[in-house]
């Protein structure tokens, strides 16, 4: 399908108040859409269905499913930019918002010093006035700007409209092989990736890596963890370790172990989560939850050199899931966009720097709104 028809279909579905999700995986030219045929709200508990899932931060709440069997699936190919654009920070923020967030960070640091937890991820919501019916144009802008992120536009009339460009994989599974990542630490991209990381960011990233290893080691074999590297996501740099192995359990069991990770919650997870729910000034909803393809069938060729009919015998069909953490995202309600941003707090955190980190992260979404 050509791109004009693809986006016209999205516009029509949205104006008809029918559920849909459109998305593109990182460094990919294929953009896909699931257009649900009815307004029914489907949920999943054990993640055994096929479709697209949208899960909240608080795992005591329900995960929404757009079932493959209830959807029309569209695809199109879009040309990718060769590089992501770099923008300066506008720094247009509210003094009252800053005062609240700085106070929240101080509360987190005090709790860490009292031994309640080692790390906590604290976030905020920033509101931007927008014009109505901008959803598809914002999605197009995100696609053009953030080629290395998982970019999506998700809508259900009973829940609302969400868009994002997240750099973080929760888990990818092909057959029984999985890949995930430990992503933490943030600094502004200033033209080079060979940068120095402070003790606070290195410690934060190691917390996440160690936690994932501990959570998964009883469920997997052949567990491999890469060296930590600096990766670029939009106008930001992060520390990342890649983790892979072979699963010996179902996806639901793994998700219970991984979500929420210390990268979006803290460590220990339950203590940090309790602090977040009590002290943040808003409901995160689907921010820092996860979303993506669930149990789709994928055909792969084991021997691409054979050109005769016997080649069919070398094809295999595997079940694949690609789930991403819902970061760098926003929710649009009528004439307002609610942008969600946060950062990891440790005993070494500096309140002013933590505030500036959230300002930098908010720029990811603001650029799409203001283009």
Q: What is the pLDDT of residue 89?
A: 45
Q: Is residue 168's pLDDT more than 60?
A: yes
Structural fold of domain 3-370:
Anthranilate synthase (3.60.120)
Q: What is the pLDDT of residue 370?
A: 76
Q: Is residue 371's pLDDT more than 80?
A: no
What pLDDT band is residue 219 in, cutting at 50, 70 and 90?
A: very high
Q: What is the mean pLDDT of residues 2-8?
A: 96
Number of Cβ within 10 Å of residue 148's Cβ equals: 17
**Peptide bond preceding 268 in cis form (omega within 30 of 0):** yes
Q: Per residue in 284-336, pLDDT tens?
A: 999 999 999 999 998 876 665 555 555 555 678 999 999 999 999 999 998 99
Q: What is the pLDDT of residue 95?
A: 87
SS (H, E, C) the chain: CCHHHHHHHHHHHHHCCCCEEEEECCCCCEEEEEEECCCCCEEECCCCCCEEEEECCCCCCCEEEEEHHHEEEEEEECCCCCCCCCCCCCCCCCHHHHHHHHHHHHHHHHHHHCCCCCEEEEEEEEEEECCCCCHHHHHHHHHHHCCCCEEEEEEECCCEEEEEEECCEEEEEECCEEEEEEEEEEEECCCCCCCCCCHHHHHHHHHHHHHHHHHHCCCEEEEEECCCEEEEECCEEEEEEEEEEEECCCHHHHHHHHCCCCCCCEECHHHHHHHHHHHCCCCCCCCCCEEEEEEEEEEEECCCCCCCHHHHHHEEEEEEEEEEECCCEEEEECCEEEEEEEEEECCCCCHHHHHHHHHHHHHHHHHHHHC
Token pair 């691409």 is found at 304
Q: What is the pLDDT of residue 302?
A: 63
Q: What is the pLDDT of residue 315?
A: 74
Token pair 């002013």 is found at 352
Least confident of 6-20, 29-43, 121-135, 242-256: 121-135
Query: CB of 235 within 8 A of CB of 360?
Result: yes
Q: What is the mean pLDDT of residues 222-226?
A: 96
Least confident of 105-109, 184-188, 248-252, 298-302: 298-302
Q: Per residue in 47-101, pLDDT tens?
A: 999 999 999 999 889 999 999 999 999 999 987 765 554 444 444 567 899 999 9
Q: What is the length of the chain?
A: 371
Average pLDDT, the chain: 91
Q: What is the pLDDT of residue 93?
A: 65
Percent of the chain beyond pLDDT 90? 79
For residue 365, give the nearest of 102, 56, 58, 135 by alpha carbon. 135
Q: What is the pLDDT of residue 364?
A: 81
Distance CA 344, CA 263 (A): 7
Q: What is the pLDDT of residue 87?
A: 42
Residues 6+ apart with CB under 8 A from 260: 57, 59, 269, 273, 288
Q: What is the model's pTM?
A: 0.92
Report the greatest alpha carbon distance in the chain: 69
Q: What is the pLDDT of residue 53?
A: 98
Query: CB of 261 within 8 A of CB of 212?
Result: yes
- Domain borders along the chain are 3-370
């Amino acid at each position: 399908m050509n791109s004009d028809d693809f986006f016209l279909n999205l516009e029509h579905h949205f104006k008809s108040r029918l559920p849909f999700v459109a998305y593109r995986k990182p460094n990919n030219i294929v953009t896909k859409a699931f257009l649900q045929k009815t307004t029914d709200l489907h949920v999943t508990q054990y993640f055994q269905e096929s479709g697209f899932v949208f899960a909240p931060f608080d795992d005591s709440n329900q995960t929404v499913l757009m079932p493959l069997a209830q959807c029309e699936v569209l695809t199109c190919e879009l040309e990718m930019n060769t590089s992501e654009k770099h923008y300066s920070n506008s720094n247009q923020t509210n003094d009252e918002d800053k005062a609240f967030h700085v106070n929240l960070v101080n509360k987190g640091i005090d709790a860490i010093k009292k031994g309640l937890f080692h790390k906590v991820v604290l976030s905020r919501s920033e509101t931007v006035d927008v014009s109505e019916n901008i959803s598809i144009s914002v999605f197009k802008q995100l696609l053009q700007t953030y080629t290395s992120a998982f970019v999506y536009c998700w809508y259900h009339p009973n829940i609302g409209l969400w868009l994002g460009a997240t750099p973080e994989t929760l888990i990818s599974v092909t057959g029984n092989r999985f890949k995930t990542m430990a992503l933490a630490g943030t600094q502004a991209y200033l033209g080079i990736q060979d940068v120095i990381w402070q003790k606070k960011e290195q410690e934060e990233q190691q917390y996440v890596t160690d936690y994932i290893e501990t959570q998964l080691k009883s469920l997997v074999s052949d567990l491999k963890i890469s060296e930590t590297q600096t990766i670029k996501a939009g106008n930001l740099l992060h520390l990342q370790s890649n983790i892979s192995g072979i699963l010996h359990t179902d996806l639901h069991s793994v998700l219970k172990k991984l979500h929420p990770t210390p990268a979006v919650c803290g460590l220990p997870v339950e203590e940090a989560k309790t602090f977040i729910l009590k002290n943040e000034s808003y409901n995160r909803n689907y921010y820092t939850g996860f979303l993506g393809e669930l149990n789709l069938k994928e055909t792969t060729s084991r021997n691409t050199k054979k050109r005769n009919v016997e080649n069919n015998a070398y094809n295999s069909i595997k079940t694949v899931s690609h789930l991403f953490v819902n970061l760098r995202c926003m929710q649009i309600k009528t004439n307002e966009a609610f942008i969600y941003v946060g950062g990891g707090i440790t005993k070494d955190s500096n309140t002013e720097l933590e505030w500036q980190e959230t300002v930098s992260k908010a720029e990811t979404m603001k650029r799409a709104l203001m283009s």
